[in-house]
Each structure stands twice: as structure tokens, then as C-alpha cells.
Amino acid sequence: MTTRKQALSGAVLWLAGVTMAAATPTDVVVHVLSKDAKFIGSSMGGVQVTIRDVDTGELLAKGVTSGDTGDTKRLMATDHKRGEPLSTEGAAKFVATLDINEPHLIEVTAYGPLAQRQSANKVSTTQWLVPGKPISGGDGLLLVMPGFVVDVLDPPTHVKLKGVPQTVKLRSNVTMMCGCPLDPKGPWNPSKIEVKALLKHNGAAAGEVALEYTGTTSEFAGNVDVKQPGTYIATVYAYDASNGNTGVDVVTFMVEP
């Protein structure tokens, strides 16, 4: 004999089944574009993308963008009309399929590039997602990542040098966040980018040094005249005055008498 309690339990299970069955797979396509440049993809380790429910904080999806940097001509040399996508086939993206049965306000966050974490930035946006209404047309959900990838090549961090006075060469590689190089023959001219090192000696400000383009793609260098022993910190930045784009890396070196 079926009891009232069993009937109620069955009804609850049936309703749960109806609710689950009503969930609709809904795609979200995320592209991450380097500010003033191209898409951030596999060549830079990709960008980590997380999708959360704004109201509950629940993690709905997580992954990494993969693919190429996109079409240089389309992105950097073509006038764009409303409705024309910037992305092309193969351009880096992350695709998530969410099973939802009601509208969700989602927060989409991108962090990267993962292959150059000293220069990684984070951007996010919120967007309503309705069951069966994918965010996949055109560029899907497009996030723009500001910054430069600044990578100090020389001196190696924490190196110990002997003797004062001496000249220490600072050398840094600077690219766009997509890894796109700075070169006079390309879209990103190094002459328009200010690269400097802000110096500290034993914790106190010790001036700044300009790093000039060396003629090698993306490479900048300058000399630090060291007159006293101690611990030095060089904060190297790249800055584009035309749009405020900025990137930073830090190196330390020690000079013994």
C-alpha cells in the first residue's frame, strides 16, 4: 500500500525530474582581445576564463582560451562596421555550454596571459544569460585585456655582482598582451612606447633610466651606473601615451664591494 509520505516523496522526485529535464544547454563564447592588438591565445598560454552566477557566486564554468591571434589586417588595418565580427575562424576563444532552466546574471572573468604571469591582468563583465539564447553570434562575449607583456631579460633576478663603480645593463623584452611584437615594420612601433626603469637602492628611490629600442624586435636596453654597493630593485615599465596602455616587470640585483 502506498502511504501518503511515499506519495509526497514521489511527487517531489517527479517535480525535480521535470525541473532537470527543463534545463536547456546554452552556449557562451568568450574572446579576449589584447588592447590595441589581437586575440590572446595558445601562443601565450591562453587566458583563464571563469563564469559565475552573480547572485550565488556558484562557479558555472572554467577554462582557457585556445586558438590563434586572429587576422592582423582585419584587426589592425580595416575599418569596422556595426555587426561585423573582429574574430575569424581559429581565433582564440573559450566555449562553455551551461545547462540552465532560468535566466542567470553571470560574471565572466578573464585572467592572463598565463605564459607571462608577471604581466597578467584581470578583466570581467556581467551579462544576462537566458536558457536557449546563446551568446555566440559575432564575437560572442568580447573582453579587452589592457597591458604590455614586460619581461626583464638581464640582469637575471637576484644576481650578485662584485665591484663598484660599474655599469649594469638592463635589457627587457616588451610585447603586446597577445605576444604581438614591437617592430618598426609592423603595426606596433617601438618608437611610440616609453620604456623606463624606476630604481631603488636599499629601499630608497634612486632615479630612473630610459631603455631604448635596440633594433632587435621587442627588445629595449639601458645602462645603470652603480656607484654604491647594496640591493637594487629595477621596476621596468612600458607605457603608451596614446591610450594609457601600461605593463610592468621587476628585477632585483645585488652589488658587493
- To the question of pTM greater than 0.85 for the whole model, the response is yes
- E strand or H helix at 246: strand 245-256
Domain residue limits at 88 = 23-145
Q: Are residues 138 and 218 in the same domain?
A: no
pLDDT of residue 15: 47
Q: Are residues 101 and 31 in the same domain?
A: yes
pLDDT of residue 32: 98
CATH number at residue 172: 2.60.40.10
Q: Are residues 208 and 102 in the same domain?
A: no
- On whether residue 33 sits in a domain, the answer given is yes
CA distance 105 to 202: 49
Q: Are residues 112 and 183 in the same domain?
A: no
Please give the chain's pLDDT, 257 residues, in tens: 445 555 445 444 544 454 455 799 999 999 999 999 999 999 999 999 999 999 999 999 999 999 999 999 999 999 888 889 999 999 999 999 999 999 999 999 999 999 999 999 999 999 999 999 999 999 999 999 999 999 999 999 999 999 999 999 999 999 999 999 999 999 999 999 999 999 999 999 999 999 999 999 999 999 999 999 999 999 999 999 999 999 999 999 999 99
Count of domains observed in the chain? 2
Give 180's DSSP letter. Answer: P
